[in-house]
């Protein structure tokens, strides 16, 4: 799967009582994009039991504590405060922590091990020069048949944008170069423009982000903040 998360997918996750309870309902709802992404990921994982799951760039994870405790969960993060992230881990009992980035080929992360890996708002922060190692390492740690879930922040406006199209092409095709495939057909319509069925960040959330990252004020004023969702398999 490769598409923008839709309102109906977000609402479906909110309507799932197990997901809603696990993520404590409306907390973080004003930060719309993260709320959308958390619920989309959790809706994919809520039924998981007895799996080996790795969150990539999980920081102080919102998802791992909500997963079934029968899963074996790992959190991969340097905890260096990049992008206003935390510099110390609030360690969760029985969760294995690896203080590294995906793409470092950390020896603490075993080969062919994980049933599921996932990331939330991580990939858009990775320099293009490092993306090859990211995907190569992601493929390395996955079991054959394992599933990788990634949600990516992106700004989409009313009109076609060549730079945006190139970025989307990179997101689509780079994982394929390193052995991944999509679990179903790519669904994103091209050229990529905002449509009203896309789940998007609130204007309040965008205003708050302006205070944290003012370099993107112009983009936020003319575009909507939405999430690309990828489901890949090894």
Per-residue model confidence as pLDDT tens digits over 105-122: 999 999 999 999 999 999
Q: What was the pLDDT predicted at 183?
A: 86
∠ CA 131-154-73, nearest 5°, is: 60
How many CA atoms lie within 13 Å of 90's alpha carbon, on the beta-carbon side? 9
Q: How many CB atoms lie within 10 A of CB 162?
A: 8
∠ CA 38-131-151, nearest 5°, is: 15
pLDDT digits (tens, 9 = 90+) for 17-74: 999 999 988 777 777 899 999 999 999 999 999 999 999 998 889 999 999 999 999 9
User: What class does CATH assign to 2-233?
Assistant: alpha beta
Report pTM. Answer: 0.94
Beta strands in 90-141 (DSSP E): 96-98, 114-120
Q: Is the dihedral of CA 125, 212, 54, 168 positive or negative?
A: negative
pLDDT digits (tens, 9 = 90+) for 178-190: 999 998 889 999 9
Q: What was the pLDDT predicted at 217?
A: 96
Through-space distance between the first and last CA atoms of the chain, rounded to whole angstroms: 13
Domain chopping of the chain, boundaries: 2-233
Instruction: Tell me what percent of the residues of the chain surpass a pLDDT of 90.
Output: 85
Average pLDDT over residues 90-118: 94
Q: How far is Cα of residue 183 from the mean position of the Cα atoms in its chain?
A: 17
């Amino acid at each position: 799967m490769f598409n923008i998360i839709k309102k109906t997918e977000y609402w479906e996750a909110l309507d799932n009582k197990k997901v809603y309870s696990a993520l404590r309902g409306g907390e973080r709802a004003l930060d719309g994009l993260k709320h959308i992404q958390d619920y989309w990921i959790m809706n994919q994982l809520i039924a998981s039991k007895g799996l080996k799951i790795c969150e990539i760039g999980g920081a102080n994870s919102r998802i791992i504590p909500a997963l079934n405790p029968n899963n074996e969960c790992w959190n991969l993060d340097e905890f260096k405060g990049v992008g206003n992230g935390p510099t110390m881990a609030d360690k969760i009992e029985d969760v294995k922590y690896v203080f590294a980035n995906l793409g470092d080929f950390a020896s603490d992360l075993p080969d062919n091990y994980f049933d599921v890996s996932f990331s939330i708002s991580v990939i858009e922060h990775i320099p293009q020069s490092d993306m090859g190692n990211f995907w190569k390492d992601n493929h390395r740690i996955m079991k054959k048949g394992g599933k990788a879930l990634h949600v990516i922040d992106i700004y989409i406006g009313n009109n076609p944008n060549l730079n945006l199209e190139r970025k989307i092409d990179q997101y689509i095709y780079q994982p394929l170069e390193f052995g991944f495939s999509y679990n179903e057909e790519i669904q994103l319509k091209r050229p990529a423009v905002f449509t009203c069925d896309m789940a998007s960040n609130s204007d309040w959330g965008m205003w708050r982000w302006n205070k944290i990252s003012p370099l993107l004020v112009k983009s936020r004023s003319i575009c909507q903040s939405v999430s690309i969702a990828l489901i890949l398999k090894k």
